[in-house]
Amino acid sequence: MSGAEDTEEGTRTWVTRAGGTTTTTTTGKGKGKAKEKLERVDGLLSRLGYCARGDARGFLKRRVVTRRPPGEEAEATRVTTTSEKAKASEIAVDGEALDHPDGLLVVMHKPGGLVCSHDEREGANVYELLPERWRARKPTVESVGRLDKDTTGLLLFTDDGRLNHALTSPKKDVGKWYRVKTDREIPAEAVEVFASGTLTLEGESKACRPAVCEILSPLEARLELKEGKFHQVKRMFAFFGCTVVELHRESFGSLTLASVAPNAGDIATLPLDFDF
């Protein structure tokens, strides 16, 4: 799966790929960890998706769960009671440290054809690509904003509600670059109109924030948005009579998809304090 270790420069993360496992390093701001609290082992295991709380007793029998209290000399002892209290960093399952006990921040290279929804009635969804254990975590792992079913590219997930809110807030001045293909020639004036901050989309009361647009060829452009209105890119191009036929998100602030998850379906973990 994946893991993390703190280094002087920040946090080193293990990356999980669709086609196997590889490693890379990504650094965070290197902020200190919040003080760990004591938790009941059944609560801890179910919170991190290892088992249902009611199944914790069986889990402790089936798997080797150990606790090593702090201190160089301390010996690891087997945990046999669900009510035992421990800090997450003291616990190991089958000899492996617990998986991201402080929270998850994940980047996925979203393939086309998947919806950003937990509702199975809406069809195949992006959550199906996440490891089972992450899908069982509480609080649940949620996408940071949404991409349309046909949109590909960079999609973040986290189980940290505050972080999710902070990353989607328009107050956070993070630019997201999209690559766009259209069915008809993109007029040169689109660049000026998108940059002006005066374009108000149908049904909206507020104009779009100024957006940088680079026309790459008659049917292709890159666009940087610092907000995320519903179907925003498609509606902005529709204003000029252009239908978006391909849409790909290349980056989220300083994070480029090519650097961490270059192929469709790739998944990587990031430090919670990643500096976007």
- Shortest reach from residue 233's CB to ligand URA, in Å: 3
CB of 253 to ligand URA, least distance (A): 16
- What token pair was written down for 255? 């994070």
Question: Which residue, 82 or 152, has its beta carbon nearer to ligand URA?
Answer: 152
Give yes or no for a contact between 245 and 180, defined as CB atoms under 8 angstroms apart.
no
CA distance 269 to 260: 9
User: CA 106 to CA 134: how far, in whole Å?
Assistant: 10
The answer to whether residue 151 forms part of the interface with ligand URA (CB under 6 A) is yes
Instruction: Record the tokens describing residue 246, joined without a space.
Output: 């391909």
* Identity of the residue, 174 or 233, whose beta carbon is nearer to ligand URA in the bound complex: 233
Q: How far is the CB of 50 from ligand URA (least distance, A)?
A: 33
If DSSP codes are grouped into helix, strand and coil, which group holds residue 150? coil
Amino acid of residue 206: K
**CA separation for the pair 100, 86 (Å, rounded):** 16
Active site residue 150: no
Distance CA 60, CA 70 (A): 21
Taking alpha carbons only, the member of 219, 250, 264 closest to residue 111 is 264
Candidate ranges 59-67, 74-82, 146-154, 265-273; the one touching ligand URA (CB under 6 A): 146-154
Size of interface with ligand URA, in residues (CB under 6 A):
8
Q: Interface with ligand URA by CB under 6 A: which range of 72-80, 122-130, 144-152, 183-191?
A: 144-152
Question: Which position has the token pair 């709380």?
Answer: 53
Q: Which is nearer to ligand URA, 151 or 251 (CB)?
A: 151
Q: Copy the structure tokens of residue 91.
A: 């616990």
Residue 28 is classified by DSSP as B
- Smallest distance, Å, CB 247 to ligand URA? 6
Structure tokens at 152: 């590909």
Catalytic residue among 55, 102, 148, 275: 148
90-129 footprint of ligand URA as x/- string (CB under 6 A): ----------------------------------------
Kindly indicate which of the ranges 44-52, 131-139, 147-155, 186-194 contains the residues binding ligand URA, using the contact rule CB under 6 A: 147-155
Instruction: Report the distance separating Cα 10 and Cα 105, nearest Å.
Output: 15
Q: Is 168 in the site for ligand URA (CB under 6 A)?
A: no
Among 2, 47, 1, 19, which Cα is nearest to 271's?
2
For the CB of residue 49, give the shortest distance to ligand URA in the complex, in Å: 28
**203-242 residues near ligand URA, rule: CB under 6 A:** 231-234
User: Is the CB of 47 or the CB of 234 nearer to ligand URA?
Assistant: 234
Q: Where on the chain is the footprint of ligand URA (CB under 6 A)?
A: 147-148, 151, 231-234, 247
Residues with catalytic annotation? 148
